[in-house]
């Protein structure tokens, strides 16, 4: 169930990674490394959920949105929902935006489709 900001961040990362039609290993590794760091911080602090489950749920949601032809609308909804959930905190939104850029660049090149999604998120979040 997509019920946390983290779910939607993973969904947006996956959408950026897949937008050029290819999901590269470097992009997958980038997403997983971030999740592992969050999982570790959650274990140390006693807070946080299962990041692996969150990625799996985000991937299923991504696939559902692609298959239903609603991926663009879902990406826009996720961007707006994340911003609202964080009360438009520019620092947090900048970190999330930078994670999207990192995923897009992980394969050595930011494709036009990835640039379009990054531009949308940047404008939506005001970062």
pLDDT tens-digit series, residues 49-79: 667 788 888 889 999 999 999 999 999 999 9
Rounded to two decimals, what is the model's pTM?
A: 0.83
Mean confidence (pLDDT) of the chain: 85
Residue 74 structural domain: 5-125
Among left, alpha and beta (phi > 0; psi -120 to 50; other), residue 98 is alpha
Whichever domain contains 11, its CATH number is: 1.10.3680
- Candidate from 12-21, 32-41, 84-93, 104-113 with smallest mean pLDDT: 32-41
Residue partners of 118: CB distance under 8 A and separation at least 6:
16, 97, 100, 101, 104, 110
How many distinct structural domains can be found in the chain?
A: 1
Residue partners of 9: CB distance under 8 A and separation at least 6:
82, 96, 99
What's the pLDDT score for residue 43? 47
């Amino acid at each position: 169930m997509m019920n946390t900001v983290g779910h939607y961040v993973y969904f947006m990362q996956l959408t950026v990674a897949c937008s050029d039609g290819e999901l590269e290993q470097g992009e997958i590794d980038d997403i997983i490394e971030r999740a592992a760091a969050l999982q570790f911080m959650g274990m140390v602090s006693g807070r946080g959920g299962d990041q692996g489950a969150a990625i799996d749920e985000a991937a299923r949601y991504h696939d559902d949105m692609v298959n239903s032809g609603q991926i663009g609308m879902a990406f826009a909804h996720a961007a707006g929902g994340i911003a609202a959930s964080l009360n438009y905190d520019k620092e947090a939104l900048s970190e999330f935006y930078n994670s999207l850029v990192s995923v897009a660049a992980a394969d050595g090149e930011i494709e036009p489709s990835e640039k379009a999604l990054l531009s949308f998120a940047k404008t939506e979040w005001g970062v």
